[in-house]
Amino acid sequence: MTTLTLHASGPVAPAEAWERYAEPARWPTWAPQILGVQVPEPRLRAGLEGRVRGPLGLTLPFVVEAVDEAARRWAWTVSAGPVRLRLLHWVSDGPDGGSTTGLRVTGPAPVVVGYAPLAQLAIGRLVRLLT
């Protein structure tokens, strides 16, 4: 297992960046690798199960493990057959206003390393103003 931590800062207020995480229907607006999300509820909560739809019709199940609204942190596990990635996300105040988001990805090294560029792009978009 390998763990990789990524960060991105941008002008979006921390409360807005958090809402972009907290409402799964909004994920495709900033995460280009997510084309759709299927969840039975509109907001993250521990125990929430769903599916993310990616490129080429790939659909992967996920389970939200933990959500701390006050701390703006949440964790989930995404599965692809026997391969599992655990992702921990957080949002904090940025160094010059705006927000900083972090992502810690844990899983098999080739998957973590392969996913890192897409993840970096996505979290960078999370904290930028969307048009």
Find the distance separating the first CA and the last CA of the chain, reported in whole Å.
Answer: 37
Superfamily of structural domain 2-126: START domain (3.30.530.20)
pLDDT digits (tens, 9 = 90+) for 52-61: 999 988 999 9
pLDDT digits (tens, 9 = 90+) for 76-130: 999 999 999 999 999 999 988 999 999 999 999 999 999 999 999 999 999 998 7
Q: By percentage, how much of the chain surpasses pLDDT 90?
A: 93
Inter-CA distances, 2 with 26, 66, 111, 116, 122, Å: 28, 21, 9, 12, 20
pLDDT of 129 reads 85
Domain residue limits, the chain: 2-126
Q: pTM for the complete prediction? A: 0.95
